[in-house]
Structures are given as C-alpha cells and as structure tokens.
Amino acid sequence: MKKHNFSAGPCILPQEVLLKASEAVVDFNGSGLSLIEISHRSKDFVEVMENARALALELLDLEGKGYKALFLQGGASTQFLMVAYNFLETKSGYLNTGTWSDKAIKEAQFFGEVVEVGSSKDENFNYIPKGYTIPQGLDYLHLTSNNTIFGTQLKKFPKSDAPLICDMSSDIFSRQIDFSQFDLIYAGAQKNMGPAGATLVIVKEEVLGKVSRQIPSMMNYEVHISKDSMFNTPAVFPVYVSMLTLQWLKDMGGIAAIEAINDKKAQLLYSEIDLSPAFEGYANKADRSNMNATFNLTDDRLKDTFEELLKEGGINGLNGHRSVGGYRASMYNALSLESVGTLVDIMSEMERRG
Amino acid sequence: MKKHNFSAGPCILPQEVLLKASEAVVDFNGSGLSLIEISHRSKDFVEVMENARALALELLDLEGKGYKALFLQGGASTQFLMVAYNFLETKSGYLNTGTWSDKAIKEAQFFGEVVEVGSSKDENFNYIPKGYTIPQGLDYLHLTSNNTIFGTQLKKFPKSDAPLICDMSSDIFSRQIDFSQFDLIYAGAQKNMGPAGATLVIVKEEVLGKVSRQIPSMMNYEVHISKDSMFNTPAVFPVYVSMLTLQWLKDMGGIAAIEAINDKKAQLLYSEIDLSPAFEGYANKADRSNMNATFNLTDDRLKDTFEELLKEGGINGLNGHRSVGGYRASMYNALSLESVGTLVDIMSEMERRG
C-alpha cells in the first residue's frame, strides 16, 4: 500500500533522493566505497559540501550579497544558544509564537536580557502577534517563521534597526521571501531539506564579530566560516542528502515552482477543513501555515472512525502535538498534491458519516 | 577491484552494516517508509535509540554501574567544550598527547584554568608522557586514549583523585579496558562505531551537577540524560548505523573478540615496518597505536613506486596527516586481517625493489 507521509519532522523526502542516498551508502559515485566510510577531506566529499552550500545560497537568491552558508550539527536547539553567544551583548528581542520561540528565549537568557516584543501565549499561540512595538537598541530581533505545533506562519516580517535573525526550520525553501532582509537564518534540515543531523545556517558576514565575549570554537560562526564549514568532521550523510534535496528543488524550478504546489496543497486541505462540519481549524485563518495544518474533529466520538479510515488510506503521521491535540497535517515540499487529495477524500467521507 | 579502506576517519564500517543501512534508507523495518522520514518519537526509532544506548553500556561492561549513555551531535569538538562547561569550576588537568588534546585544552581555557600535567610536544608527540605528577584539587583530569595523527595510544591510564575524563574517539570498542575507572568517556562515532554525525557520551551520573555556573540546555549532560538522549531531534541515521555496528560487534563476541583480531592486524603491520629496511615507524614502539600505524619510507625517492603499488592493490586512505607526513594505516575494527595482509604484501614488494 502506498504510504502518505504527513509526519511533522523528520518528514517526507523526495523518493528519488532516498534512492540515490541509499545507493551512496553502499557505493558512492562508483568508487567502490560507501559515502559514510571515506574521509570528509576527500575531494569527493568536499565537493558535496561546497555544492550544498552553494545550492542553499542560490535557491534563496543570496549569492553575491555577503552571505555564507554553513552546515553545522546540533539542530535549531544548538542555534538557540549560538545566536545568543554570537550576538547578545546586553539586550535582545524575541517574538514569541510558541514552543520553539519559547525555547530560544530560554537559552538566550543564559547570555543577557530578552525582551519579548510580542506573544500569542494568551490564546495558546493560535495566532501571530501583530502591531507590537520593537524597542530601540536591541542587539538583534529573533523570529520563528513557522510554528509546526500550532500551525501558524509569519506572512509578513517586521522591519527593525537591529539585525534580523530568523529560525526557518520548518518552512525554509517552501515559499518566496526576500531572504536578504535577514542577517541570519537557521534551519534544522529535517523538514524541507534533508534528514535530521544537519543544520543550515545562512549568515551575513558583516554582522559577526561584534560581541565582547570570548566564544568557544564550536559556538563561533566566524570559526566555521573560516574553515568552510569543515572546522570539524561534518555530519557527512545528512549533508549529502541535503545536497541531493536542494538539487531536486533546483531541478524542479526552485522555490517559485514549489511554492505554487505548496499553495495548492494548502488550499485543498484548508478548504475541506472550513467547509466540512466534521472538522474545525485550530490556527487563526490569517496566520495559517502552509506547511502544518492543525485541526480537530468537531465530534470527538468520531475519533475511532476517522483514525481507522486514515489507517486504511495509508495516511502516516497525522497526530497533533500533545500540547494542542487533534490532528496536524504537515505538507512539506516533498509531499505530493495526490497525498493531500487522499487525505481530503477521507475527510469528506467523515462528513458523510458525521 | 576490492578496496582496502585504511581511512583515518570517517572510516571503514562492516559491509553487512552498510547493506542494512542502505536498505533502511528506502524501507525501514518493512514499514514502507524510509528511516530518515519518520518521526524520531515513533516507537520504531525510540527502540533504535534505546537499543544503541544499551548496547554501548553492555559492550563496555558498564551496565548497572551508575552510567548513562547518550548519543549527541557535534563530534568530539563539541565535547571539548561541554566537558569544561559541566566540570570546570577552577582548575582542570590535561595530558597533552597531540592535536586533539591541544584542541580540548584550548576550549577548556574559555572556562577556567588548565594545568598541562604532561606533554610530548618536545618530540612532536611521537610518545606518550610518563612519570608526570598529577596536582591535587583538580576538577577533573582529561586524557585522549589514542592519537590518530601521531599513531600513539595510552596503554595504562593514570590514577587520580579527580574525576577521570577520556576522549576515546579513535579506539573505543577496540580493546578491553576497565572502563569503570572513567567518570566520563566520549567518542565521535566515525571510527569504530558508525558514520560521522553522532557522538557517544558515557557518563557516571553521580559526578554531574557540581559546577556553579548555569549551563545552556544543549550543553548540559543532565538535560540530555533527563530526556533519554532525545532532548531535541537526534541524528537519526548516524544513531541507527551506530546501533547496527554495535550489534555486529556484540554478535561477533564483543570487545574481547575484536581485540584479538586487532592485535593480530597490528602485529602483522608493525613487524613489517620493523623488519623492512624500506620503512621506519614514527611513534615510540612502547606507545604504538593498534588503531593507527604511522610510518615513513626510508628512501623518499621510492615514493612514486610505493604509491603506484598501493593504487594497484586497491589500498585507500594511506596518506599521513599533513602535520606528520609519510603514511598512516588505520586499522579500525571493521578492517579485515586480509586487508592488512594485502598492504604488507605491497610493503614486502617495496623491500625487494629498494
């Protein structure tokens, strides 16, 4: 049975990427050696790293604009800490849109003052705060572009005099944005880019080197830049699969092309949620994420029926996060419109049974 | 042509592990989904993580002795920093046996005083210091059990009142040691355990929580322990392959069994180095590593001939590190005695041509 993988992350990757990655684990580039048993300093792997870094900048239209791309380890959770290490001298600003912002704030507080410029905690983060004031004199302003748990997404980004830093773990490469408005972007690979274990950091070099504290090597963006993202042994396999996925995206027409498909997928699913009396959405309509749609059954007695139909239909990973409950359909780049169609068919069937 | 992979790391892994890993990338446990596109919170992956953690403790004979095993990210380079974050209050001791100790010392100095209890820098680290005095009142003593670059290995470990911390990145699981003499052991996976991107940490819980500084979450061993090594999304594929490799080692009889083979491989190669007038060893004989043998040609004019023969014989990864030059044969667990035999045959041929 074909599986439809709506997992929130690690999540679906393009089938052709999985096949190539699988092959490289036994024979990389026809070398007779596995990708994972060769030196990371070998010509073949250095090419992978350089290619991945270049593709990231190219797809985000940030080539020749003073940015560097790094593939580090430790996920966004390590970036929560590194951002503060490298930028927080006295006072930072954070927009709190839920769990991930909350965690980022907690880590920044180890290094200095954090001003929560806005928060949607009052409504369990089902909306994106608007109309907030950004104080003067911040070392940086930190945003989270998409919240996987609550299913919200920033559609507009605030202007600020301070450097703008954005956690784009769950929607990078999914929609067209002027990425040059950001000074630093970071993203765990395991949504639209690759497997868990690699973290993409895109940073404008000119904003670095301004804090007075000493920064340990692994926490220091400048150290990683000076070593072309190879200060230490990188996560070879996750970087390779990220490169393959970025190449897949480029080949299909880049972010503009995938955005058109992502829009169709989201419209199809949200239409069903809005039209069907059997379901109701969780997030505020204007702030809905095109990556993660959160919704509930209006009648909880139909839970078993719905979940039985999901199982029969090969739908995987639809459970909502424990802090919200209900359901969450994650529609990352590699998920097909057909898979969303299959889910919507099942939801329509629920309507008939409701 | 069969390749003989002497790469210093990332390095050779068992062929059966590579085949299973390759299969899991397209279909994990017959689920119809790839290992790298399922949730790390899924039952299937939680089992992998728990199995890997348990196997590590079992193979090191540390079960039921107050230790926890963690699979983190960031390599030994991140451990250089985490060790100091978690243990260095005022003064630490480091035995300097070359590059990796040097780097560990540099990172610890961001956090407090470092006493170099011994160093072999005077002879470009071709021996292991002995007869040094360990000062009283250290927060911990840090050792590096094996140096991949210079080809040296600690055969005996010093006794100390302070907690004993050891970087075993390049020889863990290769020889029998009383591992319970250590309070913390760490190792990048990419030698005897798995692919780059996972780092094993084995820590005795009772030694934690004694520094006064606040520790950011990702740097805090106690946080990772409290979340069963899943505080954030782990490096799924590297952890899975590590689990497969540890299972392979257990199935073949554990560390005692592999140590017997490793001894044979090392004896075969070092005998050739010592008996052949064409080669000379780099490291002090008493301190030679069973994992990485470093040697040079006695007549540099034979370089091209030797390297041509290596190529013809399918020998991969024999170049020495740039700081030592010459050659380095890394003989990690998965390398067969047959591969060492092939290398020794080529070295014997050089003798005839010399």
Q: What is the tens place of the pLDDT at every residue in B102-117?
A: 999 999 999 999 999 9
Q: Residue B69: which of B82, B80, B56 has the closest Cα?
A: B56
CA pair distance B249, A306, nearest whole angstrom: 45
User: Which residues does chain B have within 8 Å of residue A25's beta carbon, measured at their own beta carbons?
Assistant: 18, 21-22, 25
CA pair distance A199, A180, nearest whole angstrom: 19
Which tokens hold the place of A82?
């590194």
pLDDT of residue B308: 97
Nearest Cβ partner for A7 among B18, B38, B107: B38
Q: What share of chain A is helix, strand, coil (3-state, %, to 5)?
A: 40, 15, 40
Decide if B243 contacts B257 (C-beta within 8 A): no
Band of the pLDDT at B354, cuts 50, 70, 90?
low
Selected for mutation to probe chain B from A15, A36, A224 (highest B CB count within 10 Å) is A36
What does CATH list as the number for A254-353? 3.90.1150.10
Helical (H) or strand (E) element with A201? strand A199-204
**% residues pLDDT > 90 (chain B):** 97
Strand order in the sheet with B67-72: B67-72, B199-204, B184-188, B164-167, B141-144, B91-96, B113-119
Q: B309 pLDDT exceeds 90? A: yes
Judge whether B285 counts as a catalytic residue.
no
Judge whether B167 counts as a catalytic residue.
yes
CA pair distance B273, B344, nearest whole angstrom: 9
Task: Check if A5 contacts B (Cβ < 8 Å).
Answer: yes
What are B230-278's pLDDT values in tens digits?
999 999 999 999 999 999 999 999 999 999 999 999 999 999 999 999 9
Question: How does the average pLDDT of chain B come out, rounded?
Answer: 97
Judge whether B191 counts as a catalytic residue.
yes
- Mean pLDDT, 10 residues at a time, over chain A (354 residues)? 92 97 97 95 97 98 98 98 98 97 98 98 97 96 97 96 97 98 97 97 98 98 98 98 98 98 98 97 98 97 96 95 93 98 97 80
Band of the pLDDT at B51, cuts 50, 70, 90?
very high
pLDDT of residue A353: 82
Band of the pLDDT at B322, cuts 50, 70, 90?
confident
Band of the pLDDT at B293, cuts 50, 70, 90?
very high
Running DSSP on this structure, what letter comes out for residue B302? G
Q: How many CB atoms lie within 10 A of CB A299?
A: 14
**CATH architecture of the region A15-251:** 3-Layer(aba) Sandwich (3.40)
What are B147-185's pLDDT values in tens digits?
999 999 999 999 999 999 999 999 999 999 999 999 999
Domain borders along chain B are 15-251, 254-353
pLDDT of residue B58: 98
Domains A15-251 and A254-353 alike in fold: no
User: Can you give the pTM of this predicted structure?
Assistant: 0.98
pLDDT of residue A354: 67
Subunit contact B77:A236, Cβ cutoff 8 A: no
CA pair distance A340, A351, nearest whole angstrom: 17
Minimal Cα distance from A13: which residue of B? Answer: B37
pLDDT of residue A172: 98
